[in-house]
Chain A
Amino acid sequence: MRPSRREFMRWSMVSGISLGLSRLASADTPSFLVRETLPGRGVPRPATGRVDGVAKVTGAKLYASDFRAADLPGWPAETSHALLVRAADATHSYEGLDLARLGAIAKPTVVVTAEDLDRIGTRVPSFYAGDLFCPVGKTPLYLGQPVALLIFERFDDFDKARLALRDGNFLKFGAETGPVAVPNYAAFRFTRVAGATPDAPDIYSPIQEGWISPGFLESSGRPIWAPLPVAKGGEYVKGAVFGEKIRAELGSGDPALLTLDRDFETQSVDPMFLEPECGLAWYDAGEGDLSIVLGVQSPFEAASAVAFLLGEAGDGFKPKRIDAQFAYVGGGFGGRDHTPFPLYVALAAMFYPGHAVRLAHDRFQQFQGGIKRHAFKMRTQIGVDRASGKITAFAADHVLDGGGLMNYSVSVAVVGATGAIGIYDIPKVDVTTVAVHSRGVTAGSMRGYGTLQTMTALEVLIDEVATTLPIDPIAFRRLNALKTGGRTMAGNPYSVSVRTREILDKLEAHAIWQNRGVEKAGAKPGYLVGTGVACAAKDYGTGADCALGTVEIAPDGRISIHGDAVEMGNGIGTALANRVAIHIGGIADAVTVAQVDVFDALELFTSGDSYTISQAEQDTAAKDTRWVPAISSATSASIGAHVGTQAAAEAARVVFRFGLWPAALALWGIAPTDPRAKQAGEAYWQDRHLIMTGLSPLPLEAIAAKAHAQKGVTGAMAHAFSRWAWAQATFDIAGEAWTGDIDALAIRRGGDAFTRLDRSVVAFPPADYNRIGTAFSSLCGTLVRVEIERATGLLRIASAYSVLECGQALVPEVVVGQAQGGFAMGVGYALLETLPPFEDGPGNGQWNLGQYLVARGSDLPLHDLEIEVLPPLAANEPPKGMAEVVMIPIVPALLNAIFDATGHRFQSLPVTGAMLKGALA
């Protein structure tokens, strides 16, 4: 069964609390929504650039960290400040906070502890299971676990306390207990044995048989991978028998087979988004309203989690309404998707009613409490037929450190495991994975999501295979690459384009590759030169992704868009504007993102878990035309372009087909019975004019005015859902059955209000698709040439080339920018960034950018980094997710280049200058 990546709550009511149903009152001060609607009233969008361009270069208030109570109409005038006190010890019993000593420096107005949460009756959402505050007498579950929330009325007191708590030990600890023992979060085994020919059915695969998990030793909690019967969890024995047979073949010592067996370790790192987590909240006890401003990747989840937290709270602590508003995000990279931070923001407000309270991490606190990337330990075995050069079998064992809370550890384990064979077509695969608890800081979602780790190990191993056989590394990859229609490790084919051969051809033809020998031979005295290559195929989407979008056009042709996707640098606002413009001819004048409270007209509700729902449950639920499998997704898993724009694009199609097109026909004087009235697909937009062969071009403004005048469809609101395929539904619009890749629709005629339409037919993707690891994948290949100074180990990236494919690039400049940024993040991961586990790591509260090194401009080949984006295969190829894949291949490519230069193959990350110097000594 696919583990859930999110919780699902009913749309309108959670535990009797109504969620986000109104806007802030208007006042002289611009409202939050006005500030967050871009390019902004009266601000023309430049000819090129992002919709948020002007706002971001003028310092406009956009991010959650920019807002104080005084910036928000109707809020209290003053802002109070909250501080989370976290434990830097997870092996001794916590005995309390020395408030008397702290009070001498700065006395908090309010102190919130575990006892207080017990007293008021909060509930922790299962995704964050574990004490929100470590109770007195218990050992902290993990380093950095909060023990108390302090609220200060004055900023100066807060600031003094913040500094004092960083440098002084105000927490009391008792007896040594050792770390808290917690069972493993999950373990899975993915085994596939292909049939005799590519077309033959698999002999065994996760798609056919379901996903399997082993039993666990009662004494230690370790998985039992041997094919012993498991009390629950499916047909483990059957899969394990196949898996063990694969391993036996790999260990048989067959001389015709090249077998390599290698260990590889990756480190914990911080997403290091530049805006630390923060939020602002105010509980108006008289009205029962809890208002929150947050910056997260998962708005709907955050609001739902807060509602769950307080849903059963006692008198005075259960709000009647939660009005959650979501700001632009100063970087995310996964690390702001499903974090417990919003829960603490809400608690701050609830325990200081009548006051606006701000909770904001500083960088030390963000290192101590923010989500991290999982450290992996991997053992990988590969078998290659020496004669043919074909990979015959692959086995791997992954152990990932999930840290203190489970968070996304289960799905990171799954995604890492099912991505472990990268771009290759391997007939026999057996991968085990186990996500373990530790007292380290919680690990969760981060760009690459497990595959960065496993594909790095793979591509380094592939390079070693090519060297050992020997065979040209690109030729070896081409020989073994998965082709269109080939099956992934789970047993399903990708349902999107697979362009590995094109990517490899590009890499092979590039000057960096062609000149590698010359460059190596011509290295300056005292320097070594090496060239490396790697290629990655990264899934995008989670298998249950959805989007909300509204498109409206005014009589004067002004276009506005609302979407629920989050802008965190991904250019989603611009992507929405560009994708909608394809259908209705104009770039939007107002785009609002991260909105989850403006789609009431759809009257959506959900039930069950879209990752685990049975077909029968889905079929029953779907009979209610308001039901959808999930309502709103986090902006993560590289779904921005593919999913985040889907609902708005479909809404725009409806506006065109049933509003603008009929208006254009009227302006052209074409009767509905005229055959040309059916040729909407042949019309196209150019410079805000609708063009139709043989007819006068019509300006968008005239068409919009006509559409309003004849009460055509001038606005559409839609919901889209994908489980590796879009849900499709049919709606009766203007007497015509219209089918789209959406499952809910409301329309507006002229200037009327939105009206929900019942779908007459709906086809949700089958529930069995949950057995698919992924069906969506994008590719990226990277070449890199390095120079290493022998005496110092100093490495310089001389030049690099990344080539990727992502279907239709909605904002090509953003795609290139993401690729450049992914390259930089990959360089940091390969060479610079690392967080030690446990007491020396970030949980001790002493980490900042002085110790934690991320890539700067001088670490990168700023003028010698070439990015190439392949054009889409067809004009109508949909956009594909690419934000993650672009950071993967540079990591193994660097290690492979280092091997080429030095002859030393590193099997752990990061490869620092000191390690290089040591290897060259």
Chain B
Amino acid sequence: MTNLALTINGRAYGPMDVRDELTMNDFLREFLGMTGTKFGCGAAQCLSCAVIVDRPDGSSYTNPTCIVPAVNFDGKSIRTVEGHASDGALTPLQTAFIEHFAFQCGYCTAGFLNEGQVLLERLARQKVARADVEATIAEALDGHLCRCTGYVKYHEAVRAVILADPGRYLI
């Protein structure tokens, strides 16, 4: 057992004892009841389980949770799909996902949303040329599996958010 303390969507959890082998996905879903983060494969291949990890320097990245022990997140600050909207107000990316009909069954949506959000935050710090937008999105989202949509509308939604705010994201 290891003592675990972390921040999820701005709220502190722990310290609490957890089994060393317990995955972060099971910690979120079974122990905290936060089932917005999905379980898809248990092999870090589909990334429906990905969450956002915030670095102290303000940058962020996604991390799978299905094969990663919860204790690996000790001391970290993460965001899940439940933490994007603020007081019921959706983020531009959430709104774009809805308006573009980006998802169908929606089971992979949390992973795509987190990955897309991390991409937006990265581009806000390091802008991209318009000509490279599509390739940048494709590279960012490619690890995520979706069985329903063919990915096109996810890409279109992310692109729409980027192009809607060129001063923020584009060189």
Q: A: which residues have CB within 8 A of B?
A: 46-50, 52-63, 65-68, 70-71, 155-156, 159-160, 163, 271-276, 328-333, 362-364, 568-571, 811, 813-814, 816-825, 848-850, 854, 856-858, 860, 862-863, 865
- B151 to A857, Cβ gap below 8 A? yes
Q: Which stretch, B19-27, B55-63, B163-171, touches the partner chain A?
A: B19-27
- A821 to B46, Cβ gap below 8 A? no
Task: Provide 26 A-B residue pairs closer than 8 Å at the C-beta atoms, listed in order of the A residue.
Answer: A46-B95, A55-B106, A57-B90, A155-B26, A155-B30, A155-B31, A163-B21, A274-B105, A274-B108, A274-B146, A331-B105, A332-B105, A363-B40, A568-B105, A569-B148, A570-B104, A813-B101, A821-B146, A825-B147, A848-B41, A849-B45, A854-B147, A857-B138, A857-B151, A857-B155, A860-B150
- A818 to B104, Cβ gap below 8 A? yes
A70 to B29, CA, bound (A): 12
- B104 to A821, Cβ gap below 8 A? yes
- Chain A proximity of B128: nearest CB distance (Å): 16
In the complex, chain B residues whose CB is within 8 Å of the CB of A364:
42
- A362 to B81, Cβ gap below 8 A? no
- A850 to B43, Cβ gap below 8 A? yes
- A46 to B98, Cβ gap below 8 A? yes
- Which of chain B's residues has its CB closest to A362's CB? B42
- Chain B proximity of A12: nearest CB distance (Å): 32
- A59 to B110, Cβ gap below 8 A? yes
- A276 to B39, Cβ gap below 8 A? yes
In the complex, chain B residues whose CB is within 8 Å of the CB of A816:
101
A483 to B155, CA, bound (A): 39
- Chain B proximity of A814: nearest CB distance (Å): 6
In the complex, chain B residues whose CB is within 8 Å of the CB of A60:
36
- B26 to A273, Cβ gap below 8 A? no
Q: In the complex, which of the residues B37, B84, B95, B149 contacts A821, with contact meaning CB atoms closer than 8 Å?
A: B149
**Residues 86-108 of chain B, each 1 if its beta carbon lies under 8 Å from chain A, else 0:** 00001000110111110111111
In the complex, chain A residues whose CB is within 8 Å of the CB of B80:
59
A856 to B106, CA, bound (A): 16
Smallest CB-CB A-B distances: 4 pairs: A59-B36, A569-B105, A569-B104, A330-B107
A813 to B26, CA, bound (A): 35
Q: Given contacts A155-B30, A569-B105, A848-B42, is CB(A59)–CB(B81) below 8 Å?
A: yes
Q: In the complex, which of the residues B30, B33, B37, B41 contacts A849, with contact meaning CB atoms closer than 8 Å?
A: B41
A848 to B36, CA, bound (A): 22
- A65 to B39, Cβ gap below 8 A? yes
Q: In the complex, which of the residues B42, B81, B148, B151 contacts A862, with contact meaning CB atoms closer than 8 Å?
A: B151
- A70 to B81, Cβ gap below 8 A? no
- Which of chain A's residues has its CB closest to B151's CB? A857
B152 near A: Cβ within 8 Å?
Answer: yes
In the complex, chain B residues whose CB is within 8 Å of the CB of A48:
98-99, 101
B48 near A: Cβ within 8 Å?
Answer: yes
- A50 to B101, Cβ gap below 8 A? yes
A330 to B49, CA, bound (A): 14
- B82 to A59, Cβ gap below 8 A? yes
In the complex, chain A residues whose CB is within 8 Å of the CB of B33:
68, 70-71
In the complex, chain A residues whose CB is within 8 Å of the CB of B134:
862-863
- A274 to B145, Cβ gap below 8 A? yes
Q: B: which residues have CB within 8 A of A?
A: 19, 21-22, 26, 30-31, 33-43, 45-46, 48, 80-82, 84-85, 90, 94-95, 97-101, 103-110, 113, 134, 138, 141-153, 155
Of B34, B40, B97, B110, which is in contact with the most chain A CB atoms at under 10 Å from its CB?
B40
A497 to B33, CA, bound (A): 50
In the complex, chain A residues whose CB is within 8 Å of the CB of B81:
57-59
Given contacts A159-B26, A820-B153, 10 further A-B contacts (CB under 8 A): A46-B95, A53-B98, A61-B35, A274-B105, A275-B38, A331-B148, A818-B148, A821-B149, A848-B43, A849-B43
- B94 to A58, Cβ gap below 8 A? yes
- B35 to A65, Cβ gap below 8 A? yes
In the complex, chain B residues whose CB is within 8 Å of the CB of A329:
105
- Which of chain B's residues has its CB closest to A166's CB? B42
- B35 to A59, Cβ gap below 8 A? yes
- Chain A proximity of B27: nearest CB distance (Å): 10
- Chain B proximity of A832: nearest CB distance (Å): 12
- B106 to A56, Cβ gap below 8 A? yes
Q: In the complex, which of the residues A330, A823, A856, A860 contacts B145, with contact meaning CB atoms closer than 8 Å?
A: A856
- Chain B proximity of A472: nearest CB distance (Å): 29
- A273 to B153, Cβ gap below 8 A? no
- B105 to A273, Cβ gap below 8 A? yes
- B98 to A49, Cβ gap below 8 A? yes
In the complex, chain B residues whose CB is within 8 Å of the CB of A67:
35
- B84 to A330, Cβ gap below 8 A? no
A363 to B43, CA, bound (A): 8
In the complex, chain B residues whose CB is within 8 Å of the CB of A813:
100-101, 153
- A823 to B150, Cβ gap below 8 A? yes
Of B40, B94, B106, B155, which is in contact with the most chain A CB atoms at under 10 Å from its CB?
B106
A46 to B157, CA, bound (A): 15
A54 to B90, CA, bound (A): 8
A858 to B155, CA, bound (A): 12
A423 to B24, CA, bound (A): 51
Q: Given contacts A569-B105, A814-B104, A862-B138, is CB(A57)–CB(B97) below 8 Å?
A: yes
In the complex, chain A residues whose CB is within 8 Å of the CB of B103:
56-57, 569
- B107 to A275, Cβ gap below 8 A? yes
- B37 to A59, Cβ gap below 8 A? yes
- B138 to A858, Cβ gap below 8 A? yes
A362 to B49, CA, bound (A): 13
Q: In the complex, which of the residues A159, A276, A330, A822 contacts B105, with contact meaning CB atoms closer than 8 Å?
A: A330
Q: In the complex, which of the residues A47, A274, A818, A863 contacts B40, with contact meaning CB atoms closer than 8 Å?
A: A274
